[in-house]
Amino acid sequence: MCDTVAELASGTYEELGWPELLPFIFQCVQSADTRLQESSLLVFAQLARHIMGTLRQYMGTLHEVLARTLASSSQDVALAAMRATSNFVQVPDPFYRAERCRPPVLSMLVVVQGARQSSLGRLFALLQAGLAECYC
């Protein structure tokens, strides 16, 4: 479902608009339900490269959401937050990279440190991609 929502949004959001989408995703990511948090983060991750211009106005809130969810006790939520953070770091947007890059990357390191051994390969690949884009 996340993939479908993200595909629809990436193709229509900038041109036709979808004013309910971002408020709904922010509401879901702040839910107590970890499945909603994870799903909304996965949508954010996929939307990063498509609607970064629109997301700039929400960057403060998004930064707080990513920091909070990277510290989640749910590994699924933390991994989804890591994917979203990594995707935002990789977007060629000077505003995001200059203003917001380092704190989320440091939070990503905390996720890596606390992850189970079976998830480390996936985590390191995401981290490596994010760091390469952030510091190059």
User: Residue 106 is part of a domain; what is its CATH number?
Assistant: 1.25.10.10
Q: How confident is the model at residue 36 (pLDDT cuts 50, 70, 90)?
A: very high
Residue 131 has pLDDT above 90, yes or no: no
Specify whether the CB–CB gap between 38 and 70 falls below 8 A: no
Q: Average per-residue pLDDT in the chain?
A: 75
Query: What is the mean predicted confidence (pLDDT) over 67-77?
Result: 88
pLDDT confidence of residue 123: 63
- Domain count along the chain: 1
Give the residue numbers spanning the domain of 69: 2-135
Cα separations (Å) of 81 from 11, 12, 59, 86, 136?
A: 23, 24, 15, 8, 22
Mean pLDDT, residues 70-78: 88
Question: In the prediction, which pLDDT does 50 show?
Answer: 79
Q: What is the pLDDT of residue 32?
A: 94
Q: Specify the length of the chain in residues.
A: 136
